[in-house]
Amino acid sequence: MHELAITASIVELVAEAARGRPVRRVTLEIGKLSGVVPDAIAFCFPEIARGTPAETARLDIKEISGRALCETCGSEFPLVDLLVRCPCGSIRFRPIAGEELNLRSIELEEVS
Amino acid sequence: MCATCGCEGDGKTMLFNLQTRQSGEIASVADTHAHEHVHADGTWHSHPRDHAHDHDHYPVRPSGEIDIQARVLAKNDALAAQNRAWFAGREILALNLVSAPGAGKTTLLERTIAAMVGDTPLFVIEGDQATSNDGERIRAAGAPAVQVNTGSGCHLDAEMVRRGLAELRPPPGAVVLIENVGNLVCPALFDLGEHAKVTIFSVTEGEDKPLKYPHMFRASELVLLNKIDLLPHLDFDVATARANVACVNPDSTIIEISALIGEGLPDWLQWIRARAAAAREFAAP
């Protein structure tokens, strides 16, 4: 389950930015085609965050839908999974959204 | 609790050098704080292990919000970029071999080493959750190897490869074959700095494997359809399997092989040699 290693990276980024100050909220962006399961991240987070500034933080996960740019006809279309075709019939496309795996922001408990 | 897998105690990532018989622990990318320190914004620091961080890398808004906008895998990707530059500077070709467990990666490596050992310096980084069995097989086949045991971790990351390279020290012009942990999901996400991913897809797995694991097949430049010696005994349609690969990755190359009996291996060896020549040409001034 790579979500555990990924959650550890998230907690480390949060701790680095928080520099010891308690964190109230952590906001992530996870694309629906990122290969990462948001529920698994949410499941791992409290355990990994224990003993870090993110220990009591609320985790907000914003899921981002997939979109692709067709390399044949140039149009954009929704990418629900990697097995779809462009409405023009082409299977040559480039995902332009939905692969995100980002730490968007954190909120500190108290502003010093 | 171990940060990689959540287990108690012995889920640590260990590295074993098959030549020197020395082993050591590898800190994961997630919890490495020693020495070089990469921030998500790309900033580099040199740090002692226990350092106080006395500067904000991100502005704090009056609301207490800190806008970070960092890719979670940025550190792995930065280390992968370092590995890539290290390979390029030494004209080394690095391939990341991925597959489901039991698809035949290690047998393929043994055959590849036996066929190329006379003319190409081959080095192998072996990834498995546990045991050095595969590393021993590679060593016996004639190539220097390091075994990385990921504990309960399900993939190799760029730091593990960096540490493996530090042990192996492949010379300029070498070929480094990285055998990833048998898993078609997680290794797709972790760039190791390799030139290409090669998926080994065995005919015992069913024609629809590419459709079930599209991320991995999409990320692979080459698909080796292995164990074709078993085709007479199986209900497996090669044309359907090829169409399924093409459906998720129309640009990938497919080579049919049997690592066991050697069928198709010359095409695979030729592919490696062409890529190794390209890696040398790319690096030329």
Q: With an 8 Å Cβ cutoff, are A10 and B72 in contact?
A: yes
Q: Alpha helices of chain B — where are they, by DSSP H?
A: 74-89, 105-116, 133-141, 158-168, 209-212, 214-219, 238-248, 265-283
Q: Please write the tens of the pLDDT for every residue from B54-98.
A: 667 788 888 899 999 999 999 999 999 999 999 999 999 999 999
Highest mean pLDDT among A1-15, B30-44, B230-244: B230-244
Q: How far apart are the CA of A8 and the nearest CA of chain B, in angstroms?
A: 6
Return the half-sphere exposure (C-beta side, CA atoms, 13 A cut-off) of residue B276: 17
Alpha carbon distance A27, B57 (integer Å): 18
Q: Is A105 on the interface with B (CB under 8 A)?
A: yes
Chain A residues touching residue B58 (CB < 8 angstroms): 17
Report pTM: 0.87
pLDDT score of B35 more than 60:
no
Q: Which residues contact B169 (CB under 8 A, 6 or more apart)?
A: none
Alpha carbon distance B278, B272 (integer Å): 10
pLDDT tier, B3 (very low <50, low <70, confident <90, very high otherwise): very low
pLDDT given for residue B211 in this prediction: 96
Q: Please write the tens of the pLDDT for every residue from B96-108.
A: 999 999 999 999 9
Q: How far apart are the CA of A18 and the nearest CA of chain B, in angstroms?
A: 8
- Determine the average pLDDT of the residues in B249-255: 96
CB environment B153-183: b (16+ within 10 A), e (fewer): bbbbbbbbbbbbbebbebeeebbbbbbbbbb
Alpha carbon distance B18, B136 (integer Å): 7
pLDDT given for residue B217 in this prediction: 97
Chain A residues touching residue B250 (CB < 8 angstroms): 91-92
Q: With an 8 Å Cβ cutoff, are A105 and B68 in contact?
A: yes
- Determine the average pLDDT of the residues in A26-46: 95
Q: Which pair of structure tokens corresponds to residue A70? A: 């067709």
pLDDT given for residue B12 in this prediction: 83
- Determine the average pLDDT of the residues in B259-274: 97
pLDDT given for residue B36 in this prediction: 47
Of B139, B192, B174, B159, which Cα lies nearest the Cα of B18? B139
Q: With an 8 Å Cβ cutoff, are A110 and B53 in contact?
A: no
Enclosing H/E stretch for A17: helix A2-18
Q: Among residues of chain A, what percentage have pLDDT more than 90?
A: 91
Chain B residues touching residue A1 (CB < 8 angstroms): 5, 154, 186
pLDDT score of B11 more than 70:
no
Q: ipTM, 2 decimals?
A: 0.86
Of B261, B271, B4, which Cα lies nearest the Cα of A11? B4
Parse chain A into domains and list their residue ranges. Answer: 2-65+98-108
pLDDT tier, B4 (very low <50, low <70, confident <90, very high otherwise): very low
- Determine the average pLDDT of the residues in B200-212: 97
pLDDT given for residue B261 in this prediction: 96
pLDDT tier, B1 (very low <50, low <70, confident <90, very high otherwise): very low
Beta bridge partners of B5: none
| CATH 3.50.30.50 is held by the domain A2-65+98-108 | no
Domains annotated for chain B, with CATH where assigned, are 77-283 (3.40.50.300)
pLDDT given for residue B34 in this prediction: 40
- Determine the average pLDDT of the residues in B140-153: 91
Nearest CB to B65 within list A1, A92, A105: A105
Q: How far apart are the CA of A112 and the nearest CA of chain B, in angstroms?
A: 8
Q: How far apart are the CA of A43 and the nearest CA of chain B, in angstroms?
A: 11
